[in-house]
Amino acid sequence: MAIVVIRQDDKIDDWKEALQLYAPQIAVYDYREEHPREAVKMAVVWKHPPGSLQGYPNLECISSSGAGVDFLFEDDRLPKHLPITRVVDEYLSKDMSEHVIALIFSLLKNLYHYKVDQFNKIWKPVGYKRISDLTIGIMGLGALGSVLAKDLVRFGFKVRGWSSSEKNIQGVETFTGPAGRTAFLEATQILVCLLPLTDDTKGILNAGLFRQLPKGAYLINVARGGHLVDGDLLEMLDNGHLSGAALDVYHQEPLSLEHPFWEHPKVHMTPHYASVSETISVVPQIVENYRRLASGEELLNLVSEDKKY
Ligand code: NDP
């Protein structure tokens, strides 16, 4: 029995090697090489070519090698009713939290502003904010959002969070569902999106939602480009309702060079690298699931077939 690794980036060799090193007893194939398809029991995938999961008659599990699984549901030839697992990993959560916290502190102390002033040789101090001045609102209090919330509380920020089901996180004011969204947004000065991309959340960062934020609010989208209506963000930045946005994710990646985000003075861009799955940390949970498949035990980090996250 075997694992096939399917991804289109330059990390396919790293993943194959890491799996082989950690579990030499399991045959691991790169999907581009000749391999016995009937032997494959698990596919370890990231942004696979649509249709490439077909033709594995004994496939028992699809394992996303990242936290997100939205790319799988975009494949209309995805084999139906197979268990899908994703990554939940301490480093992935910590790295995301550190990325967002770095952005927030840069904002507090106007560091982007001064970088631009430096290029233009402008010496002009501007008022800064303090931790106690800011309320951070996090959309999505899952594996990543909950760690960020706790870290921000430790720094002394006022923190609120929004999710589907109720949460109890010390020091965090929590809101749920569509009914709780308005109250959640109305006092949020920095909005962080850490939702999964699903039919319910596609385009959720739109003009209607932005209008519910206080004037001068700032957006940090580190979840998926599909959450954001780009034109609505540009409109809200240009009319001054939002003071700025930090984006790590985009509808198209890499972002087309014609896109207005590149040159917008209020947009701070990073290249979808807030937090990445490290093979050394993630491979053990994938191999553990491979073992569980054989023993019939419940798999770790299962994606809900109904909720699609
Ligand atoms: P989880 O599935 O653990 O958490 C998702 C959270 O969103 C949960 O709290 C869930 O609520 C909430 N949620 C889902 N749908 C809704 C909805 N319709 N309304 C309100 N709340 C909702 O995901 P992770 O924290 O592991 O990851 C979040 C996303 O971050 C990933 O899907 C991925 O897109 C992105 N990501 C980005 C990375 C980057 O480098 N930029 C790296 C890794 C991930 P409940 O708890 O009640 O189910």
Domain boundaries, given as residue ranges, for the chain? 2-89+277-295, 90-269
Residue 129 Cα to ligand 1 middle (Å): 29
Query: For residue 273, which atom of ligand 1 is closest to its CA?
Result: 40
| Burial classification of residue 304, based on how many CB atoms lie within 10 Å of its CB (0-12 exposed, 13-18 middle, 19 or more buried) | exposed
Judge if the upstream peptide bond of residue 254 is cis by omega within 30 degrees of 0. yes
The beta strand positions in 177-254, using DSSP E, are: 190-193, 217-221, 242-247
Strand order in the sheet with 158-163: 172-176, 158-163, 135-139, 190-193, 217-221, 242-247, 267-269
Cβ–Cβ < 8 Å for 25, 19:
no
In this structure, the chain runs to a length of 309
Alpha-carbon 3 to chain mean position: 25
Contact 139, 195 (CB under 8 A): yes
- Rounded to two decimals, the pTM is 0.97
Q: Retrieve residue 26's tokens.
A: 């399991």
Instruction: Supply the pLDDT for residue 143.
Output: 98
Alpha-carbon distance 282 to 18, whole Å? Answer: 10
Distance 226 CA to ligand 1 centre (A): 13
226-275, pLDDT tens digit by residue? Answer: 999 999 999 999 999 999 999 999 999 999 999 999 999 999 999 999 99
Mean pLDDT of the chain: 97
Share of the chain above pLDDT 70, in %: 100
Ligand 1 centroid–CA 198 distance in Å is 10
* pLDDT tens digits, one per residue of 162-190: 999 999 999 999 999 999 999 999 999 99
Distance from chain centroid for Cα 72:
15
What would the pLDDT profile of 81-122 be if each residue is shown by its tens digit? 999 999 999 999 999 999 999 999 999 999 999 999 999 999
129: left (phi over 0), alpha (psi -120 to 50) or beta: beta
Do the two domains 2-89+277-295 and 90-269 of this chain adopt the same fold? yes
Strand-pair category, 190-193 with 172-176: unpaired
12 vs 29: CA distance, rounded Å:
10
* Active site annotation includes 272: yes
pLDDT tens-digit profile of 275-291? 999 999 999 999 999 99
Confirm if 23 and 279 have CB atoms less than 8 A apart. no
**Ligand 1 centre and the CA of 268: distance in Å?**
22
- Measure the N-to-C terminal CA separation of the chain; round to a whole number of Å: 28
Fold of 90-269: Rossmann fold (3.40.50)
* Helix (H) or strand (E) segment spanning residue 135: strand 135-139
Superfamily of domain 2-89+277-295: NAD(P)-binding Rossmann-like Domain (3.40.50.720)
For this structure, is 292 an active site residue? no
pLDDT of amino acid 90: 97
**pLDDT for the residue numbered 187:** 97
Q: Which atom of ligand 1 is nearest to the CA of 87?
A: 26
Give pLDDT, residue 189. 98
Ligand 1 neighbours by CB, cut-off 6 Å: 67-68, 92, 96, 140-145, 162-165, 194-198, 200-201, 222-224, 248-249, 272, 274-275, 309
Q: Are 175 and 161 in contact (CB under 8 A)?
A: yes
Measured CA to CA, the distance from residue 307 to residue 285 in angstroms comes to 22
